């Protein structure tokens, strides 16, 4: 009997954690006239001890909805979790014919568990950002509290 309880207690804890994680709805991938979100979230690079966060950043993968016949210029606005109200800006060129676009923010200082951050990708026809073609917005959910001083 004691052996059975020892096995069931961790299973119960695991089940409760799993149910708690499912209770908060994760953002769904978005389709816009220009792109479809293939993946989005936060990426962490861990140190050799596999516990220390060495690097933390937004990571967004987009796929064009239709073949790209000319280059596009993306201006991405990431909310800065360390400074609410501020944005982190990333500009990049997408070559004609590209089948996938990977957008990565610079290093983040922190994210807040349970927070949803809205990433906005503005799509332009020119490098000067004078002729806007569209916008692609994707919500990104933070499943854990992480900052640059924390060990997992």
> Given this model, what pLDDT does residue 25 score?
65
For residue 86, the 8-state DSSP code is -
How far apart, in whole angstroms, are the C-alpha atoms of residue 18 and residue 51? 22
What number of CA atoms fall less than 13 Å from residue 70's CA on the CB side?
7
How far apart, in whole angstroms, are the C-alpha atoms of residue 136 and residue 99? 16
Q: pTM score, two decimals?
A: 0.77
> Given this model, what pLDDT does residue 51 score?
73
Cα torsion at 135, 98, 138, 146 (round to 10°)?
A: -130
Residues in the chain: 152
Q: Which fold has domain 28-147?
A: Immunoglobulin-like (2.60.40)
> Given this model, what pLDDT does residue 152 score?
38
For residue 77, the cross-strand partners are 89, 120
For the chain, the structural domain boundaries read 28-147
Question: Edge to edge, what strands does the sheet with 101-104 contain?
Answer: 35-46, 53-64, 101-104
How far apart, in whole angstroms, are the C-alpha atoms of residue 90 and residue 105? 7
Q: pLDDT of the chain along its 152 residues, tens only?
A: 554 444 444 444 444 444 444 445 678 999 999 999 999 999 888 888 877 777 899 999 999 999 999 999 999 999 999 999 999 999 999 999 999 999 999 999 888 888 999 999 999 999 999 999 999 999 999 877 666 554 43
> Given this model, what pLDDT does residue 145 score?
62
């Amino acid at each position: 009997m004691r052996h059975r309880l020892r096995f069931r207690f961790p299973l119960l804890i695991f089940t409760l954690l799993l149910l708690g994680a499912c209770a908060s709805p994760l953002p769904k991938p978005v389709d816009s006239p220009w792109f479809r979100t293939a993946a989005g979230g936060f990426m962490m690079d861990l140190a050799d001890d596999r516990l220390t966060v060495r690097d933390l950043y937004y990571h967004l993968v987009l796929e064009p909805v239709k073949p790209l016949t000319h280059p596009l210029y993306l201006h991405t606005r990431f909310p800065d979790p360390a400074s609410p109200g501020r944005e982190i800006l990333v500009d990049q060129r997408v070559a004609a014919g590209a089948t996938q676009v990977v957008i990565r923010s610079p290093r983040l200082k922190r994210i807040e568990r349970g927070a949803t951050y809205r990433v906005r990708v503005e799509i332009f026809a020119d490098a000067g950002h004078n002729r806007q073609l569209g916008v692609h917005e994707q919500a990104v959910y933070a499943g854990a509290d992480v900052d640059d001083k924390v060990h997992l």
